[in-house]
Amino acid sequence: MTVTSDTSRPTSLKLPAALKAQLALDAQNAGLSLHAFMVQTLADAARRTRLGKAFTLDAMTALTDMKSSGLGYELADVRSYFSAMSRHRAGLQAKPQAPQPTRLD
């Protein structure tokens, strides 16, 4: 992920020497300057944090929906579906039919 901005704000970051050396090596291996590597790494971490929060919110909403409707998916059906989807994406079989929700009493 590349972050560009019309306005950059300077910041100071004191790093332990060993960490800075490892980051410099990682940046070099990635073909980036240390600065660009650190900006990219921080942007990636911020994105993962937002995705994690969105995932949690989606899961909580799904649980609420399941509890209010009484409908859900059997774990074995979900596992079978995703296994078949993996084979489909590899070109080994036709696209599987999505599992159907069942009453979970």
Query: How many domains in the chain?
Result: 2
Model pTM? 0.65
For residue 32, which of 74, 3, 64, 73 has the smallest C-alpha distance?
3
Name the residue range of residue 93's domain: 71-100
Pair (75, 63) in one structural domain: no
Q: State CA 58 to chain mean position distance.
A: 13
Residue 44, H or E segment: helix 34-69
Pair (32, 62) in one structural domain: yes
Residue 10 maps to a domain: no
Pair (64, 33) in one structural domain: yes
Residue-wise pLDDT tens digits, 5-57: 668 888 999 999 999 999 999 999 999 999 999 999 999 999 999 999 999 99
Secondary structure (DSSP) of 53-77? HHHHHHHHHHHHHHHHH-EE--HHH
Pair (65, 75) in one structural domain: no
Pair (81, 52) in one structural domain: no
Residue-wise pLDDT tens digits, 69-90: 999 999 999 999 999 999 999 9
Residue 85 maps to a domain: yes
